[in-house]
Structure 1
C-alpha cells in the first residue's frame, strides 16, 4: 500500500477494507497527516481500514474548518464509490482525531447530518486562543492592535476561536449524535482536556463512552517506530539501539493496540492469540 493524494485528502487503501477511518490531526501538524501520523495510520491500514486523512490549515473559524474537511471527505467517498473498484458504500465510518482534530469531529457530529459507527478522540483540547497556542498571549496584543488601528475596528473587540470553548461545549451537549466514543488521554499531557469532555458525552450516551489513560504525552500519536537492524554479531551498540527503539516505540504501540481493540475487539482477540 502507498499513500495517494485524492481530492485534497491523503488516502491509504487496503484491497478489501473492513471499515473507513476519517483522520484529522492537531493544529499545525494537520497539514501533512500522512507524514506526521504515518506510523499509526499505516498500522491501522494494514489491519484493513481505509484511511482518509484530510489536511487543513488552522484558522480561528473552527466551524468553517469542520465543514471544509467534511466536504473533502464526503466528496472523496462519492468518487470512490463511482470511479474505483472499492465498495465503500456499506462500510462503517469512524472519525479519529488528535487534539484539535477531536474538536473538529465533535463539531461535525453536532452540526451536520453524518452517520458514524463511532469516534476516537485522542488528547482532546478545547482551550481558548491565548492558551491553545504557545506565546500567543504575547503575540495577540501586537497583532490585534495593528488590525484594530489599520481597519478601524472596535478597540474592545477580543479575538477568539469560533465557536469559543464554552460555545463548543454547549453545541456538543445539545446536538452531538455519535453514540460510541473512545476517549484517550496520556499520563504526561498537561494540555489535555479529556476529563472535561467525558461527563458531557457520558451524560448523552451512558455506557457507550470508553475512557483510557495511557503512558505518553501530547505528541505520542506523532511518534514513529525506529528501525534498527542488528548485525551478524550482537554488539553493545545494538543493545543501546534496541533499548532506544523500545523506549521510543512502546507508547505508540500501546496507543495502536488500544485503538485496534476498540475498533474490532473480536478481530484483535483472534490476531493476538494466533
Structure 2
C-alpha cells in the first residue's frame, strides 16, 4: 500500500477495508500526519482499515479548523468513491485523534451532524492558549489571547452537544500534559457506560514513535545495548497502543 494525496487528505487504502479511520494529529505535527504518525497509521492500515489523515495548520480559531477539516475529509471520501478506490459504501467511520486532534474531533462531533461508529482519543489536551503556544505571552503581553472555543466552552459543548456515543480514551503513564481524566468524567456523564478509559505505558509522544533501526557491529558495545533497549521500549509501547486500538475497533479481529 502507498500513501495517496486525495482532495487535501493523505490516504492509505488496504485491499478490502473493513472500516475507515479519520485521523487528526497534534497541534505542531498535524501538517504531515502520514509522516509524523507513519508507523501507527500503517499498522492500522495493514489490519484492514482505510486511513484518511487530514492535515491542518493550528490557529486560535479551533471552530474553523474543525469545520475545514470536516469539509476536507468529506470531499476526500466522495472522491475515493468516485475514483473506485473505495468500492463499498456504508463502511463504519471512526475518528482517531492525538492531543489537539482530539479536541478537533470533539468539536466536529459537537457542532456538526456527523455519523461516527466511535472516536478514539489519545492524550487529550485542552489547555488555554497561554499554556499551549510557546512565547504567546511575550508576543502579546497586554492582550487576552485564547482559543475559540476556550477550554471551558469546549467542555460545555461536549457535555451538552457531543453526539458520538462510543469512545475510547487513551492516557499514557508518563504524559505530563494529559487531560483525559476530566474528559472521561464529561463523556461518562453524557453517555453512561459507553466510554472506555485505557491507561498504557508511554508518554505524550508515543503515538509519534517511529521504527528505530539499530545495526550492531562486529563487537557488541555498551552503546549497542542502549540502542537495543531504546528500540525495544519504543516498539513495545507502540505495539501495545496498536493492540488496544484494534481490540476496541473489533475484539474478534485484533491480533
TM class by shorter chain equals over 0.9
Question: Match for 2:157 among 143, 153, 171?
Answer: 171
Contact 1:228–1:241 (CA under 8 A) maintained in structure 2: yes
RMSD of the alignment, in Å? 1.7
CA separation in 2, counterparts of 1:140 and 1:217?
31
Q: How many residues align?
A: 254
Cα 1:234/1:84, change in 2 over 3 Å: farther
Aligned to 1:254: 240
Correspondence 1:207 to 2:193: yes
Aligned to 2:128: 128
CA separation in 2, counterparts of 1:32 and 1:88?
27
CA separation in 1, counterparts of 2:183 and 2:86?
36
Matching of residues 27-106 of structure 1 within 5 Å: 27-106=27-106
Structure 1 residue 229 displacement after superposition: 5.4
Aligned to 1:110: 110
CA separation in 1, counterparts of 2:88 and 2:237?
32
CA separation in 1, counterparts of 2:209 and 2:16?
27
Cα displacement string for residues 14-71 of structure 1 (whole angstroms, at most 9, x for unaligned residues) = 0110100000001010000001000000000000000000000001110000000000
CA separation in 1, counterparts of 2:58 and 2:227?
37
TM-score (norm 2): 0.94
Q: Which moved more, 1:194-203 or 1:86-95?
A: 86-95
Question: Match for 2:231 among 238, 245, 258?
Answer: 245
Greater helix fraction, Structure 1 or Structure 2: 1
Contact 2:13–2:85 (CA under 8 A) maintained in structure 1: no
Q: Secondary structure at the match of 1:79?
A: helix
Structure 1 unpaired stretches of 5+ = 146-156
Cα displacement string for residues 102-135 of structure 1 (whole angstroms, at most 9, x for unaligned residues) = 0000000010000000000000011110011234
CA separation in 1, counterparts of 2:97 and 2:85?
28
CA separation in 1, counterparts of 2:71 and 2:126?
23
Contact 1:77–1:88 (CA under 8 A) maintained in structure 2: no
Contact 1:80–1:88 (CA under 8 A) maintained in structure 2: no
Structure 2 unpaired stretches of 5+ = none
Cα displacement string for residues 212-244 of structure 1 (whole angstroms, at most 9, x for unaligned residues) = 11111111110112134568x784576554323
Question: Match for 1:190 among 173, 176, 199?
Answer: 176
Aligned to 2:138: 138
Contact 1:131–1:137 (CA under 8 A) maintained in structure 2: no
Contact 2:170–2:180 (CA under 8 A) maintained in structure 1: yes
TM-score (norm 1): 0.88
Structure 1 residue 198 displacement after superposition: 0.6
CA separation in 1, counterparts of 2:95 and 2:153?
21
